[in-house]
A = this chain, B = another copy of it.
Amino acid sequence: MKIDKTKKFLIVGLGLLGGSYAKSLSKQDYYVTAITKDQKDIDYALEHGFINKGSAFVDESLVKEADIIVFALYPHVFVEWIKEYGNLISPKTVITDVTGVKSCMVYEIQSLLPSGVEFISAHPMAGKEKSGVEYADDSIFANANYIVVPTEKNSLDIIELCGDLGETLGFREISVLSPEKHDKMIAFLSQLTHCIAVSLMCACDEPDLERYTGDSFRDLTRIANINDEMWSELFLANREILLDEMDNYRTAFDKLYNTIKNDNRDEMREMMRLSTARRKKFDKKKGQI
């Protein structure tokens, strides 16, 4: 199933990501509405042409008329919303999300929804170190990855529709992963990297370090500028898997530590060569930004 211009979108939660979805879709002439808690965010989105209509309370008519609802909320807020208002959603509506952790909530949401409403989860791997609809920017999707995260309850048609939404938004690569596999990938590729950057910034209280720094430190700690409310929730929602990945990483770090301590140059260089070979696969391809 493909996205077409007859589809009416409702975005619930106009933050950076919800706002960027709205901006991209409305630029392409889709009909887009929004529900979010602050009236000023609705006003901003209306003024900038991101949405056709919006409401700072849960307006039943907006929920009922929507064909596709995108939830761009914190995980626990998403679950609470569905518990309280899920019964307002019309049959045949497809709902999707942008949540960064999956196993902890995908099955629960699917079990809470009224019959005929299908939830297909997705993770757009795009963002900024800023939050709020005023930073909405649909260019963050270009060259980014988009992961569709179905369960056995999802139909092939709707999995395809969700991938098509990723393409419509301009993502470069669309993949499909199970919730468990997704959470493991994300624990390693995203959550662990944030843990590392935060730990590194907390490890040294020397002043004036910035006067002596090179770009390695700067690049490595870019994400140490972190939204503590959102990330603490994401870490805890994926706790067991993240702790496993942190253990694996610490094992590798300790191995390298011991090669230095024991003057074991050969094993040290072997780790560096493995690291170099693996890192090459992550180089952006020609034309990628």
Contact = CB atoms under 8 A, between A and B. Distances in A.
Number of copies: 2
Interface string A209-242: 1111110111111111110110110011001001
A200 B282 contact: no
A220 B220 contact: yes
Contacts of A209: 185, 188-189, 281-282
A272 interface: yes
Interface in A27-48: none
Contact of A276 (B188, B219, B224, B274): B224
A20 to B, nearest CB: 15
B232 A269 contact: yes
Contact of A263 (B213, B236, B261, B282): B236
Interface residues of A, number: 83
Contact of A214 (B127, B197, B251, B280): B127
Contacts of A274: 201-202
* Chain A interface SS verdict (over half): helix
A265 B233 CA distance: 8
Interface stretch (A3-11, A49-57, A91-99, A252-260): A252-260
Nearest to A281: B210
A213 B228 contact: no
In order of increasing CB-CB distance, the 4 nearest A-B pairs are A228-B272, A201-B275, A199-B253, A203-B252
17 contacts: A145-B214, A186-B212, A188-B206, A189-B209, A189-B214, A193-B200, A194-B216, A199-B249, A202-B255, A202-B274, A216-B223, A219-B222, A225-B280, A228-B268, A235-B260, A236-B260, A239-B263
Interface of A: 125-127, 144-145, 147, 173, 175, 177, 185-186, 188-190, 192-204, 206, 209-214, 216-226, 228-229, 231-232, 235-236, 239, 242-243, 245-246, 248-253, 255-257, 260-261, 263, 265, 268-269, 271-276, 278-282, 284
